[in-house]
Amino acid sequence: MCVFCRIVKGEASGEIVYQDEEVTAFRDINPKAPTHILVVPNKHIRSLAYVEPEDTFLLGRLLQVVKDLAHQEGIERSGYRLVMNCGYGAGQVVNHLHLHLLGGWRLD
């Protein structure tokens, strides 16, 4: 079982900032910005390359949670970056689809 699945199930520590039956969000342990939250589906999907047609609603749900978290964190007006790496060559370290919500600083 991957580390993100373990965090979702409460078997590994993580500073969870949001969780429902489909999505979990937690702070990155090695933040690259003042706000750095990982948003993951509770269902294990290795990466975007492994998404199936039945996952379409879930992907939209991830984006809605990102929007809500940006508001909660106070970065919706100043702006934020959303990153998804797909595969090792793109920098994906954990093989569980996830979005990086980054904000709280000005990107030049």
What is the model's pLDDT at position 90?
Answer: 85
Residue entry with tokens 């580390």: 3
Give percent of the chain with pLDDT exceeding 90.
Answer: 89
In this prediction, residue 105 has a pLDDT band, given cuts at 50, 70 and 90, of confident
Structural domains of the chain sorted by starting position, each given as residue range(s) with its CATH number in brackets: 3-103 (3.30.428.10)
**pLDDT score, position 106:** 82
The mean per-residue pLDDT over the stretch 66-89 comes to 95
Q: Of the residues 36, 96, 98, 100, which is catalytic?
A: 98
Q: What is the model's pLDDT at position 67?
A: 98
Residue 96 catalytic?
no
